Structure 1
Amino acid sequence: MQASPSPSPPSSPYLSSGSSASSMTPPPTPPNLHQNSIDPAAKWLVQKFGGTSVGKFAVKIAEDIVSDYLDQHKVAIVCSARSGSTKALGTTNLLLKAASQSLQRTKSPNGTGTNTPNGLFNSSPTLNQSPAGSPRPRSKSSPRSDTSFGALAITPATGASETSFNATVDLLRSEHITAARSIVRDPEILNVLEAEIERDIDSLRSFLFAAQVINEISPRSKDSIIGYGERLGCKIVTAVLRDRGIDAEFVSLENVVPLPADGEVYEENETLGQEFYDKVAAAVGERIRQCGPRVPVVTGFFGPVPGSLLRQVGRGYTDLLSALLAVGLQASELQIWKEVDGIFTADPRKVPTARLIPIISPEEAAELTYYGSEVVHPFTMEQVIRKKIPIRIKNVENPRGGGTVIHPDPDIDASCASKEAEAFSSVSAGAHSTYKALGELRQSKNASMPLGWDPNMHKHPTAVTMKEGIVVLNVNSNRKSVSHGFLAGIFGVLDRFGVVVDLISTSEVHVSMAIEQGDERRSLDKVVRELSKYGTVTVARDMAILSLVGKQMHHLVGIAGRMFTTLGQGNVNIEMISQGSNEINISCVIDGRDAVKALNLIHQSCLQIMPQGARGRMGPWLF
């Protein structure tokens, strides 16, 4: 049967003309909308907002953050998928759940298992029709249109049985429609936004039905499914910005990855090198410049990536895209907005005297990430730091605060950063002349030391962190006279089972390894059985890694002695000790029951921070 053409979608006042979600050219911008600075000297500023910020603080983002930067900068916004009231109800988790449900077998009327929805191949299949049993209403303003995932959206005919993923998709729809109605005031903008949400939900449902028919979801198909989360989140943020008087434009980057030159093709399993990411950065930057004075709201999803975005990058791809965008635009700064003031000297939930760190080196931030603190993934940091672009972590709930700067310039010292933070926090709303002051501050430092440099500033480490839920595996060789191949065998077992080792201490016939405990005890039991072929294996569970981090650690004579003496005086037993080759951290493994006590002891003894120290806003220090 020949499908009738789909009617044109409603004209959207905020969608990009290049967006796959709309082929309509946006109407002229009303003269009262706030736009990006048209000053040729104005620098780009990339602001990345996480799922919690998008879910809870979309109005605050529009009213108190973005609007304050527009007169002095060209702002580009990158958004994650919206979070939910619980982690399980987060958009990405729901999308992954729906993908999994689409492959679950359903019962046919005769009792046999089948993956094909009943009625899909009726003699008169229906195109662009909602599946029966779905409780969601179809908005009259949201006709189905072509999407980037296929021109024809085929769903079961009327009378088809309910599929397992429908309830999850309906929940996604309900979450986003409810959010839209609660924060968008203008009826016209709300109507268009609801139509866009309906369109994306219908497209997602069709995609999942297709996956159910073929009984397969490839890694790249899973990428496409999770990409709906950023599309929905960005469209809501775009609508909120328009509703609050900011000329915003939704930009989808799902087709931005450049094809290889000279007819080459990417191998599906190849590891993508820096050249690939440089090309993506250039392509993303070029796409965003086409927005003119409008404020682009950019999807963190930029697939399809060879070998799958989830496999190559993981769920931190939104941070990576924001970094690549900052590089492509040659931005003055990448801002990552969270729900805390920045990076602290320790977790303030566990250490009441923890203080905000105004500036930190990329190396220190990377160490904190490795050992339990969610700062920014080291690979993401590398993309901007190599181009000398600072990363500033700021608080959505406290936008006037200076935050923490991950600074690529090794000459910028903590004393200089304190002056920066003080200057930044004193600026009145809408007057971000601070950046000019900061530039003068940096330029005024002499060739060797920054302005206000104090030789006593680096007599203490930068931070102390704790990673809990650790298992220690000790392997003693059962062939003490024959050590050849012992370590190779151990590492071979770890490689086969995909075990990531956080810390390791070795001798000729003994290996101690600290690994994450994880949820799957059977997998660990299999690893232990394999390791037993090479020697006697003992397992210590419920341990914790305590790490003291500081860029100048190798200059701090006696700091290791002070750390271990403090733990000994506090009756904290040490299971294992390790120091990295870069001499930027000293780590040890202790009993998990002593974790909080040890954290406070080391924070006061080694960082010399007393209870009267200034503190930032309470919350997860690097959440």
Structure 2
Amino acid sequence: MKVLKFGGSSLRDGTSMLRVGEIVAAEKEEKVVVVSAIQGITDSLLRFMSAVRKEEEVQVFVKELRERHLKILAEVASTMPVKQQAVAQLNARLVRLERTLYGITYLEELTPRTKDLVQSFGERMSVIVMSAMLQDMGVNAVPVEADELGIMTDGTFGSATVDMERTRVNAAPSIRDMFKRQEVPVVTGFFGKGPEGVITLLGRNGTDYSASVIANAIDADTLEIWKDVDGFMSADPKVVPGAVPIGYLSYEEAAELAYFGAKVLHPRTVEPARAKSITIRVKNVFKPHVEGSAIRPQGVENAQTVKSISFMSNMTMLKVYGAGLGSRSGVMLEISELLSNANVNIYSAATSQTGISLLIEEGELKRAEKALAGAKRGVIDRIELVKDIALLCLVGEGLGTREGVAAKVFTIVASLGVNIQLISAGASTVALHFTVNGKDLEKTTRTIHQVFFEA
């Protein structure tokens, strides 16, 4: 039993969608297909509803969405009954979307609830087109919407967490019944349904996570994540031309890379798969016969230990100062809660007697400053900012326990005349994190890669 996930970059037009159809049709075992919206659709929905609009703009926008989906449908399906059914299904979704957009336009108000609902329509439409194409290829595909299937979440708008127990109870029997009818479920990724029945998104690019949740629910043997890349690489090929593919990763290695900048996988994809020891394979839709990267429970230690270098640019260091800050109980908890309530993520932290250094994304700086203004009087005396910071993450099985690896890395960095500002080691046995100035990111990454992989 297998789950196959396809992202928007694989669904940008009729040609690319037909390539996906060939991959699905060639897979003979029981399978569930999980798809994102057609490339660019979610962004267009977000842009449209984020600005004040006139009534006639809604009509034009919905018409453009209809035309794009119908154009792709015409390119991938030729059987008239199949196309007619798909058109009727698309029209029904578009009517609902249009009414929702009119409501936003009339009220001139966009709530988190409505924002999540509108963004879900990209996936609702893509599964219809995908299913029609597969039916035309002789695959008994059926479009399935995540909220109807019973993908349940904690109700957090924008970045919800799936309630696995409730989802398993809801989704597994429905999918098994479909298998008995020899149907192939084509399921919407990216969203689920909160406790009160409202739509909640699983975070940007959350379809990877959706697919992993479904794989867990049905006890799949394998989860295939199909991308437009060969899998995980030893570094970003755009920065390091000599980057090489990685054949095998442990769950922890993949999770660290995904969290700290590697765009190959959504950071939360690993969790549901790890709970059931499901192998994750990241494969290239343009090279279906290439093995790609396999993510599995057992780690494999390389001779040079370091397997990959990921990074996050455009970071900011928040230096929070206060008298005796490091020795006051509860201060770090208070600061963390303030930032968490403002949806600001802390990527690394270090404390001293007089201050705390916090690493956050530059785009979240204004929210962070506003949140920390609410700290108890006397706790924070002042805040200093260090901008244009980059966070590097080196990952490899045994990296945290093998002697001399960290020293070798820091010797390389020192030889470049690059200053390291914040180091995080010990939180994970497979990762080492440190920060450098943004201007030093590329040369630092390339040199470390050259020493460990190309020497």
Measured after TM superposition, the shift of residue 530 of structure 1 is 6.4
**Distance in structure 2 (CA, Å) of the matches to 1:372 and 1:308:** 33
Letter matched to residue 27 of structure 2: Y
Deviations 1:436-470 (A, max 9, x none): xxxxxxxxxxxxxxxxxxxxx44422211111001
Q: Which runs of 5+ in 2 are unaligned?
A: none
Measured at CA, do residues 54 and 285 of structure 1 come closer, stay the same or move farther in structure 2, by a change above 3 Å?
farther
Q: What SS is found at the alignment partner of 1:230?
A: helix
**Distance in structure 2 (CA, Å) of the matches to 1:480 and 1:202:** 56
**Distance in structure 2 (CA, Å) of the matches to 1:250 and 1:377:** 23
**Distance in structure 1 (CA, Å) of the matches to 2:316 and 2:198:** 30
Partner of 1:371: 260
Partner of 1:204: 97
Asked if residue 560 in structure 1 is aligned to residue 406 in structure 2, the reply is yes
Q: Which of residues 305, 311, 316 in structure 2 aligns to 1:471?
A: 316
Question: Retained in 1: the 8 A contact 2:140–2:183?
Answer: yes
**Distance in structure 2 (CA, Å) of the matches to 1:187 and 1:273:** 40
Deviations 1:136-184 (A, max 9, x none): xxxxxxxxxxxxxxxxxxxxxxxxxx34433322221122122222333
Q: What SS is found at the alignment partner of 1:563?
A: helix
Relative to structure 2, which stretch is displaced further, 385-394 or 550-559? 550-559
Q: Which of residues 545, 560, 584 in structure 1 aligns to 2:430?
A: 584
Measured at CA, do residues 295 and 311 of structure 1 come closer, stay the same or move farther in structure 2, by a change above 3 Å?
closer
Measured after TM superposition, the shift of residue 496 of structure 1 is 5.1
Question: Retained in 1: the 8 A contact 2:320–2:384?
Answer: yes
Q: Which of residues 358, 361, 384 in structure 2 aligns to 1:538?
A: 384
Measured at CA, do residues 203 and 315 of structure 1 come closer, stay the same or move farther in structure 2, by a change above 3 Å?
same
Measured at CA, do residues 504 and 256 of structure 1 come closer, stay the same or move farther in structure 2, by a change above 3 Å?
same
Q: Which of residues 14, 21, 25 in structure 2 aligns to 1:67?
A: 25
Asked if residue 281 in structure 1 is aligned to residue 125 in structure 2, the reply is no
Q: Which of residues 224, 227, 244 in structure 2 aligns to 1:355?
A: 244
Alignment of 1:10-159 (within 5 A): 44-56=1-13, 57-63=16-22, 65-70=23-28, 73-83=29-39, 90-100=40-50, 104=52
Alignment of 1:166-565 (within 5 A): 166-212=59-105, 219-257=112-150, 276-291=163-178, 292-300=181-189, 303-306=192-195, 313-408=202-297, 410=298, 413=300, 457-478=302-323, 487=332, 490-491=335-336, 493-495=338-340, 497-518=342-363, 522-523=366-367, 526=370, 534-565=380-411
Q: How many residues align?
A: 448
Measured at CA, do residues 237 and 273 of structure 1 come closer, stay the same or move farther in structure 2, by a change above 3 Å?
closer
Letter matched to residue 313 of structure 2: E
Measured at CA, do residues 284 and 535 of structure 1 come closer, stay the same or move farther in structure 2, by a change above 3 Å?
same
Measured at CA, do residues 269 and 350 of structure 1 come closer, stay the same or move farther in structure 2, by a change above 3 Å?
closer
Measured at CA, do residues 569 and 179 of structure 1 come closer, stay the same or move farther in structure 2, by a change above 3 Å?
same
Measured after TM superposition, the shift of residue 375 of structure 1 is 3.8
Measured at CA, do residues 528 and 542 of structure 1 come closer, stay the same or move farther in structure 2, by a change above 3 Å?
farther
Measured at CA, do residues 184 and 599 of structure 1 come closer, stay the same or move farther in structure 2, by a change above 3 Å?
same
Measured after TM superposition, the shift of residue 269 of structure 1 is 6.8
Measured after TM superposition, the shift of residue 67 of structure 1 is 2.3
Q: What SS is found at the alignment partner of 1:556?
A: coil
**Distance in structure 1 (CA, Å) of the matches to 2:46 and 2:146:** 20
Partner of 1:86: none
**Distance in structure 1 (CA, Å) of the matches to 2:319 and 2:5:** 42
**Distance in structure 2 (CA, Å) of the matches to 1:486 and 1:389:** 40
Letter matched to residue 93 of structure 1: D
Question: Retained in 2: the 8 A contact 1:576–1:588?
Answer: yes
Measured after TM superposition, the shift of residue 343 of structure 1 is 0.4
Letter matched to residue 591 of structure 1: N
Deviations 1:42-66 (A, max 9, x none): xx11101111112242100112x11
Measured after TM superposition, the shift of residue 207 of structure 1 is 3.1
**Distance in structure 1 (CA, Å) of the matches to 2:77 and 2:280:** 31
Asked which structure has the greater CA Rg, the reply is 1
**Distance in structure 2 (CA, Å) of the matches to 1:471 and 1:463:** 23
Measured after TM superposition, the shift of residue 352 of structure 1 is 1.5
**Distance in structure 1 (CA, Å) of the matches to 2:256 and 2:333:** 27
Q: What SS is found at the alignment partner of 2:427?
A: coil
- Identity %, equivalent residues: 30
**Distance in structure 1 (CA, Å) of the matches to 2:146 and 2:88:** 20
Q: What SS is found at the alignment partner of 1:348?
A: coil
Q: What SS is found at the alignment partner of 2:86?
A: helix
Q: What SS is found at the alignment partner of 1:397?
A: coil
Measured after TM superposition, the shift of residue 524 of structure 1 is 5.2
Measured at CA, do residues 524 and 582 of structure 1 come closer, stay the same or move farther in structure 2, by a change above 3 Å?
closer
**Distance in structure 1 (CA, Å) of the matches to 2:45 and 2:442:** 36
Measured at CA, do residues 286 and 54 of structure 1 come closer, stay the same or move farther in structure 2, by a change above 3 Å?
farther
**Relative to total residues, which structure has the larger strand share, 1 or 2?**
2
Deviations 1:325-358 (A, max 9, x none): 2123221101010100100111111112211111
Question: Retained in 1: the 8 A contact 2:326–2:355?
Answer: no
Measured at CA, do residues 207 and 353 of structure 1 come closer, stay the same or move farther in structure 2, by a change above 3 Å?
same
Question: Retained in 1: the 8 A contact 2:5–2:208?
Answer: yes
Q: TM-score, normalised by structure 1?
A: 0.65
Measured at CA, do residues 569 and 285 of structure 1 come closer, stay the same or move farther in structure 2, by a change above 3 Å?
same
Measured after TM superposition, the shift of residue 485 of structure 1 is 6.1
Deviations 1:189-223 (A, max 9, x none): 33433333233222321233345556666544444
Q: What SS is found at the alignment partner of 1:331?
A: coil
Deviations 1:563-607 (A, max 9, x none): 1100011121112212142332211110111111100111122xx
Measured at CA, do residues 574 and 316 of structure 1 come closer, stay the same or move farther in structure 2, by a change above 3 Å?
same
Question: Retained in 1: the 8 A contact 2:326–2:352?
Answer: no
Partner of 1:602: 448
Letter matched to residue 402 of structure 1: E
**Distance in structure 1 (CA, Å) of the matches to 2:334 and 2:3:** 47
**Distance in structure 1 (CA, Å) of the matches to 2:193 and 2:336:** 33
Measured at CA, do residues 172 and 366 of structure 1 come closer, stay the same or move farther in structure 2, by a change above 3 Å?
same
Measured at CA, do residues 507 and 299 of structure 1 come closer, stay the same or move farther in structure 2, by a change above 3 Å?
same
Question: Retained in 1: the 8 A contact 2:135–2:141?
Answer: yes
Measured after TM superposition, the shift of residue 395 of structure 1 is 0.5
**Distance in structure 1 (CA, Å) of the matches to 2:384 and 2:109:** 41
Partner of 1:144: none
Q: Which runs of 5+ in 1 are unaligned?
A: 1-43, 84-89, 107-161, 260-265, 415-456, 612-623
